[in-house]
Each structure stands twice: as C-alpha cells, then as structure tokens.
Chain A
Amino acid sequence: MTTKLPRRATATVWQGRVRLGLQVDGQGPAVVFFDGPWGLTWGAFLDALARPFTVYAPEHPGTTPGEPDTVLEIDNLWDLVLCYDEMLDELGLSEVAFVGHSFGAMIACEVAALRPARARRLVLLDPIGLWRDDAPVTNWMLVGPQELPEHVFRDPQSPAAKELFSIPDDPEAGALARTRLMWAMGATGKFIWPIPDKGLAKRIHRIRAVDTLLVWGADDRLVPRVYAEEFARRLSRTRTEVVEDAGHAPHLEQPAATARVVEAFLRG
C-alpha cells in the first residue's frame, strides 16, 4: 500500500520551452520509469521499486495536469528522445536502470540507444516499437472507451482496471478524467501513429549488450507475445518472464509478482 505520495519534481529542457513533470520516490541507485500511454499512475509496483531504488517517473509531455500543451513543443520522436536525454542530464543521472511499460518501454529503448553507456539495465514491460505483419499490434486509440479496459487488462473488473479507467460520477471530475485519458493517448499517440514502428529495429543494436529483462502479461490482448522473441533476438543478454493473470499492464494488474521479478533483476 502507498504510505506516502511520491514527491514532484520538474526538469526544464529544450531551450526552456519544455517543462517535464516527474514523480520521484525512494532511496538508492536510480531507476527511471517511463509509463505507458494512459497517464502516469503511481501504484504498488513503483512503491515496491522505490524501497531499494530511487525511482524517477517522468510524465510524458502533455500529460502533466495543467500543462497539456507542452506536447505541442515537441515535433517528433527524435525531439522527444533528446528532451528525455536532456532531462537525465539535468537530473545528474549518468548511469541508470531504465524500466518502461508499453509506449514507455519503446521510449526507454530509444533513450538508452541514444547514449548506451548511460543504461545499466533495461526492463521492458509488454513493449511496443517493433512490427510484424502477421501479428499486428492493436491500435488502442481506435478501441472504444467502453471496450478499452478489456483490451488492456485480463480482468477489466479488477481494482487496477478501475483505478486506471473508471470515470468519477461528479460531472466536472468526470469530464476532467475523460479528457486527461484521451489527451494522454493523443499526446503519446503522436509519436507512434498509425503503426508503432518508428525505426527502433534499426537502432536497437546500440543496446544489444545491455542486460535486459522482458516481462509479458500472459494474456496481453494488445501486443502479442511473439514480440518477446522479436526483442530477444535483437538483444544478446535477455531473459523473459511471463506474469500470469495479467494482460498488457502486468505491473498494474499483478504489481507484487511483477515487482518481485523486476526488483530481483535490477539487484542482480
């Protein structure tokens, strides 16, 4: 259970035009967590990692409450990767472990591939970034709001699904929640529309030697598990863990089990 809220931090980059919001907690070696496309929610998984590590979790540009237009300052994936690189410099993080989920796992690969010496370890939770015609990744931005939870979670009735997707009854809070969720998908979707293959396959060799843990929810309905093999064959030092009773977001649906394998890998 969360005992206290993570503290907020900001990093100002890109000639002062982009202010990145972060949530930070814990002590110990630095772990940078890049979240998926639905807006950062700090939960039991990050709490667990924040005991042995200092977790830095940036909010993707545009998803920080009150600052939706930040994403308009960033034209493309190259700009986004450089912004995150500048953020790490500003935070003074010369060596970190990267953990990323979904869209965030693709970003973790790209940021690490820009400066491989910075990457101590890499953890990819149901990553996107590669493409196979025979196993297309489902475009969650075209799934209706009613059907989205069952695409992301094995159990759309689970507390984790409700926490991520439930809309408050209060009209104003409900309007804000709907808007934030939609905008978070748009602000991240900007960098992957219409197919989440933006050339990572050409750049991933730069992190071939980085120790990498691949984690897949056993019932991921968005990104087929064949992509674990696609990542594994491009990286030389990988291990794959499958989390049972989880869909596309194992760290939210099975936080304890996921944290256990991730923490063990990062400590090793």
Chain B
Amino acid sequence: MKISAFHLMPHRELPADFEQRYPSVWVTPPWWELADARRVGQYYNWTLDELLHAARAGFDGVCTNEHHQNAYGFMPSPNLMGSVLAKLTNDLDVAIVQMGMTLPTTSPPVRVAEEYGMLDCISGGRLVAGLPLGSPMDVNLAYGITPMEHRERYREAFDLVLKAWQAKEIFAWNGKYFQLGQVNLWPRPIQQPHPPVWVPGSGSISTFDFATDKNVCYCFLSYSGARAATSMMNGYWEVVAKKGLPRNPYRAGFLQLVAVSETDAQAETDYARHVEYFYHKCLHVPPHWFAPPGNQDYRSLLAFNRNPVRRAENPKTLRYRDFVDKGYVIAGSPATVRDRLIEEVVKGLHVGNLMLLVQIGSMPHELTLKNIDLLAAEVLPALREIWDDEGWENHWWPERLRKVREPKIEERHGYAGARRA
C-alpha cells in the first residue's frame, strides 16, 4: 500500500450561517466579507506544516490540488505548495503527489510539463504527476473555458504534456486548441520516460476507458465514502478486465475522509462539528453548476437523465453520525478506523494508492496534527503490507520510493514530542 495525506486548504472559520447567507462556497463567495489575507496566510502555513508533519510522521506521500475562487479549498497553484514540500522533504522517502495542475486551464499546457519537470528535479525524482480535468466550477465558471470544449481540450493537453516530456527531438504541435512551433522542454523530469501519472475521475465510463488506454492510475476523489463508490469502482475494474490488463490494485487510487481519536466517543467529541462544517458549508454549491450545458456529451447527459437515482443524497440533511454510518467519513478509535479502511476501502474497492483527507473543514491545526499522529502511529502500519503478498509492482509510484517505507520510530515520536512540548 501507498498512503498519502491529502489537503484541500479550506477556509476554516466560515460564519455559522454561511450556507444560509450565501448562495455558494464556490465562484461567488465574497472575499471582502469572508476572508482576511493575514489570516489566510496562516491557513497556508498551517497547511504546509500539516503536510510536512504527515511526511515526517510516516505517510508515503503528500497531496495538493488546484481550485479557484472558493472557500472550500483554495490552492490556485498546487505547484507553489508542492515546491515548498519538495524542498523540505528532500531527506525523506516521501512522494510529492500533485493532484494536481489543471490541464484545460493551463495555457499553453507545456507549462504543466515544465513545472512538473522542475518539481521532479527539485525533489530528486519523487513526483507523482496528477493530470486532472478540473471541476466545471474551476474550469468553466472561474476560468472561462467553454463547457463543450472542456474534455476535448483536456485530451489534447494530456497528449501534448506526455509528448513534451518524452520527445527526443524538438517538435511542432499543431493542435485544435494549442499551436506551438517548437516544443523543446526545459527541464525534463528525472523519472524516465516520465513521472507516474494519476488521473482523477468521478465515475464516468469514458474516463475509465481513458485511464486504461493511457495506462495511468485512476483516482476516485470521493466525499461519499467507499460504500457509495462500490458499483462505480467495480465498473472500473470490469473495464480493466475487459481490456486484458492485470488487476493490479495500484492502478486505482481513492480518497477517504478520516478522523481518529482515542475512542469512538472521543472522535465524535473531537470531530463532529468539523465534519458537519465540511459537508454543510464547504460543499455548498448549486448542484447544476457541476454540469453546465455542454459539459457532458449528449449520450452521458441522456443516460444521467434516465437514471436520476444516481444523484447523490443531499448532505445538508445529514449529521455526524450519518456521515460515519454511511462511510462518508471513517472516524473513531484507531482500531475502528483501521478495520473500516481495510475492509471497506482497501479490500472493498481493491485500491493500492490510498489518499486520506487528514484535515476536514474547520479542523484546527492542533487537532489535525493529532489526527495525523494517530493515523501514522496506529493505523498506517496495519495497512502498509496489505498487497505485498500478491507481489504487485506499483508502476504508478516513483521508482526510488516503491519499497516499504520504514521511518525510524524515535524520529517520528521525536518530532511529535517536540511539537507538543
């Protein structure tokens, strides 16, 4: 198993009546009413400190991501964060997992290839290159890309980035969306022929095909837990089987919200309000913005309209215990979290690259560090060797980091102890 700490960098102090007062957490929340730049500077520094803490505590990777114009998670440039993390983890066997720089909004897309090349060079070949499509709120609403062109633009950019990394000769790119007369990338990544590529998806069959055709790791970034994802991930593994590819668990990634405390009851005391803050405020978006006209092709749209049951339930009607019962969040004592992660997520979905959202909604810094410490010390060790007996190679992980990471116990506890002192 490879287990990474994922962070959204949310606004942690939205007003209690946020979702009543404002129409959306994304695109339209008014900065001048809701945020303060000095305080936001503190959020960014906490975020970096929390991810670094996870790296030192024993996580295998640290994940950043790109979003725009929102209070839900505002790292407009994941590579600024990734650059700090790469430099400060150079003494650790930790992957820098960029989940990542949004392809359709980066123009020209060779910029993605260049910046990832820089990160791979700075980190000594520890980059995982996430190549996301981007959400409609980011790509269509905030960054003005025509919904009907969103996916086609993505696919062209994807091919251009992969070619720019690998081409031995200077080449011309005469695309529909991008034209470049002479592509000659500086720098090239250390990892050859290119860094491992992860593609996040949300369950559409066309992305299953894309991920398997391109031989990348398909990552389901879910907020609804493993139970809600089972039929979808089964669909992915069916596509893998149909194409005659090995059922390698590292071909799949999954994001799970986790909250660990000393006991199940203490977890509720510690985390209930932060979990509710996340689902009630951070996901407060008009539902139709997730699919503006033209964003889905005609057949997908018709299939969706024929099966409205696939629409997710409204999380605003749920409370902490519902989120835990349904598996949206796996929370409780280390034993509870360990057992549920293994059964529901890792084995249930057949996942080798696990991402854990360690900071949820309004969770303060100290509580986030506690969550990370308990995960690293009491949960991760039980997960690490899960797939080892089957002998799979994690082709989607930096080669130099593929062996099992064994951090020195005193180093880990030393860091945690120093913080608490």
Contact = CB atoms under 8 A, between A and B. Distances in A.
Contact of A75 (B145, B176, B293, B301): B176
Given A141-B293, A187-B294, A194 B144 contact: yes
Contact of B294 (A144, A175, A186): A186
Interface string A156-181: 00000000000000011011101100
Given A183-B301, A186-B148, A186-B295, A144 B288 contact: yes
Contacts of B302: 175-176, 179
Contacts of A184: 293
B149 A190 contact: yes
A167 to B, nearest CB: 10
Interface string B110-149: 0000000000000000000000000000001100111111
B294 A189 contact: yes
Nearest to A144: B288
A142 B149 CA distance: 17
A185 B293 contact: yes
B179 interface: no
B301 A179 contact: yes
Contacts of B287: 144
B147 A189 contact: yes
Contacts of A183: 293-294, 298, 301
A194 B301 CA distance: 21
A142 B23 CA distance: 13
A193 B301 contact: no
A13 interface: no
A178 B305 CA distance: 7
A193 B147 contact: yes
A68 interface: yes
A249 to B, nearest CB: 18
A69 B288 CA distance: 22
Contacts of A144: 286-288
A145 B289 CA distance: 11
A75 B295 CA distance: 15
Given A142-B292, A171-B306, A182-B293, A189 B286 contact: no
A71 interface: yes
Interface in B219-267: none
A240 to B, nearest CB: 30
Given A142-B289, A142-B292, A144-B286, A186 B305 contact: no
Contact of A172 (B147, B298, B301, B306): B306
A178 to B, nearest CB: 5
A193 B305 contact: no
A193 B298 contact: no
Given A189-B148, A189-B292, A194-B146, 18 more contacts: A68-B298, A142-B141, A142-B292, A171-B306, A175-B305, A175-B306, A179-B298, A182-B293, A182-B301, A183-B298, A190-B146, A190-B147, A190-B294, A193-B140, A193-B145, A193-B146, A193-B294, A194-B144
25 contacts: A62-B298, A68-B298, A75-B176, A141-B147, A141-B292, A141-B293, A142-B289, A144-B286, A174-B305, A176-B302, A178-B305, A179-B301, A185-B293, A186-B147, A186-B148, A186-B295, A187-B148, A189-B146, A189-B293, A190-B147, A190-B148, A193-B144, A193-B146, A193-B147, A194-B141
Interface of B: 140-141, 144-149, 176, 286-289, 292-295, 298, 301-302, 305-306
